[in-house]
Amino acid sequence: MNVEDLTAEDAESAEKPQSDSKNESLRASASFALSAVDPNERQRRWRLVLGGEANESCGGLAGEDVEIDQALAALYEPEGSGSLKKQRGGTEKSAPRVARWLGDIRRYFPSSVVQVMQKDALDRLGMREMLLQPEMLEAVQPDVHLVANLISLSGIIPAKTKETARMVVRKVVEELMRKLAEPMRTAVTGALNRAVRNRRPRLAEIDWNRTIRANLRHYQEDYQTIVPETLIGFGRKSQKTQRNIILCIDQSGSMAASVVYSSIFGAVMASLPAVRTQLVVFDTAVVDLTEKLDDPVELLFGTQLGGGTDINKAVGYCQSLITDPTNTILVLISDLIEGGVEKNLLQRTNELVQSGVQFITLLALSDEGAPCYDKELAAKMSILGVPSFACTPDKFPALMAAAIKKEDISFWAAKEGMNATRGK
């Protein structure tokens, strides 16, 4: 039985106790993901969703289900006797209980649900201090959100924990590199090869579609063929720089996952000889981390999540790096909540666009859904020719390929189901 089998009719038939609706939905995200084997599981599922108050209407639990329920209650019933909240405080005494809980949820739930529960424990119960102890880091399920928390705590992580923290971050980085590196390389190199044309192509380099269109006037009716007086080919692979790409990343806390993904993609693009990649991070200060692109782990630990935001200063610094505007792609990854001078930012934006720079704003580079952002500033930048939209990591390689080929990015985003902000 799948989650979809739990219909609205089923929900109405259950006698639902009065409890906190948010806690119920959070418990549901975990317990609905448990594997089910037959329709009789429905009542058991509802009991796990609703918690102990549903014993009378849904029946009690037995065996392993009791331990599963305790793991859920420890997180989603913060005032209960077994709550993790009562055990927090960073003391050595509390560490074994949280470590056992981390082990329990990995035993009873799939990894995707474990990641949700770990994030909830950090956000809802204020348990970030649990990441300061190596035995707990060894127990958690590594994911992007965990990495974001670790790099935000990098300045206060104890010496005994730092090596474990780096191992956790490296594990996530390596997994993301395996998943994202090849699509990124393929998209960028393919786009570069097709963005440059040559009029003396070898046979394998001929772009037949463009060649046929260019020679339609030379159609020979007697022979029912086209005489290709002009050959158009794909550009030959070149070791020289064809595009300059600048990633300008907002370090504010809301952009944590975007920082992780941007660092991975930046490292991949930096390995391509035909692309010159620079990576800049900012809050109220601007830091150029280009020299660390060969090691994404060191790059991530070089960032400092949180703090204010001065987008104008960051864009000004990026502007100073540009020497070939028509072959430069500037990707600003930010929620556009400006703490600097907006008027100056818009002036710089206009100067960059008019000079020929391809300027794109990503409101988020993550799988976290629609971000919160400054809609008015996004609209003003759109009027100047800078599209703004959120992008998922799986779409980012295609976005960069479209930018390299100098396609209309607003049109590309709309085609991919990403609604770019438009000026009024």
All domains in the chain, ordered by first residue:
19-141 (no CATH), 197-234 (no CATH), 243-415 (3.40.50.410)
Where b means 16+ CB within 10 Å and e means fewer, 81-118 reads: eebbbebbeeeeebbeebbebbebbbebbeeebbbbbb
Q: Any bridge partners for residue 84, and if so which?
A: none
- Give 315's pLDDT tier (boundaries 50, 70, 90): very high
Using CA atoms, how far apart are residues 273 and 239, in angstroms rounded to an integer?
6
Q: What is the pLDDT of residues 383-416, one digit of tens each?
A: 999 999 999 999 999 999 999 989 999 999 999 9
Percent over 90 (pLDDT), the chain: 30
Q: What is the pLDDT of residues 292-304, one digit of tens each?
A: 999 988 888 888 7
Q: What is the pLDDT of residues 79-138, one digit of tens each?
A: 665 666 644 444 344 445 666 777 678 778 887 787 788 777 777 766 666 677 777 777
**Residue with token string 């259950």:** 14
Average confidence score pLDDT of the chain: 79
Closest CA to 376 of 416, 338, 411: 338
For residues 217-240, give the mean pLDDT. Answer: 74
pLDDT at 2: 37
Q: Residue 416's CB: how many other CB atoms inside 10 A? A: 15
Strand bridging mode 388-391 / 275-282:
unpaired
**Residue with token string 């969703």:** 49
Percent over 70 (pLDDT), the chain: 76
Q: What is the pLDDT of residues 4-22, one digit of tens each?
A: 344 444 444 444 444 454 4
Helix (H) or strand (E) holding 176, with range, is helix 159-195
**97-100: long-range contacts (C-beta < 8 A, 24 or more apart)?**
98/127, 98/130, 98/136, 99/135, 99/136, 99/139
* pLDDT > 50? residue 374: yes
Mean pLDDT is lowest, of 60-74, 162-176, 356-370, for: 60-74
* pLDDT > 80? residue 193: no
Rg of the chain over Cα atoms, rounded to whole angstroms, equals 26
Alpha helices in 83-158 (DSSP H): 95-108, 111-124, 134-137, 144-152
For residues 167-195, give the mean pLDDT. Answer: 84
pLDDT at 10: 44
> Is 5 or 61 the better-scoring residue by pLDDT?
61
Using CA atoms, how far apart are residues 114 and 64, in angstroms rounded to an integer?
17
Q: Which residues contact 91 (CB under 8 A, 6 or more apart)?
A: none
Alpha helices in 196-327 (DSSP H): 208-214, 256-270, 296-301, 311-321
Structure tokens at 194: 């097709």
pLDDT at 34: 45
pLDDT at 143: 83
Q: What is the pLDDT of residues 233-286, one digit of tens each?
A: 765 544 566 889 999 999 887 788 899 999 999 999 998 888 899 999 998 899
For residues 211-227, give the mean pLDDT. Answer: 84
**Residue with token string 């790099």:** 151
> Is 318 or 46 the better-scoring residue by pLDDT?
318
Closest CA to 153 of 287, 301, 23: 301
pLDDT at 3: 37
pLDDT at 129: 66
For residues 300-314, give the mean pLDDT. Answer: 84
CA angle 39, 24, 29 (to 5 degrees): 65
pLDDT at 345: 96
Q: What is the pLDDT of residues 136-163, one digit of tens each?
A: 777 777 888 888 878 877 777 778 788 8
Secondary structure (3-state) at 131: helix
- Give 197's pLDDT tier (boundaries 50, 70, 90): low
- Give 306's pLDDT tier (boundaries 50, 70, 90): low
pLDDT at 68: 85
Closest CA to 258 of 418, 270, 266, 419: 266
* pLDDT > 80? residue 212: yes
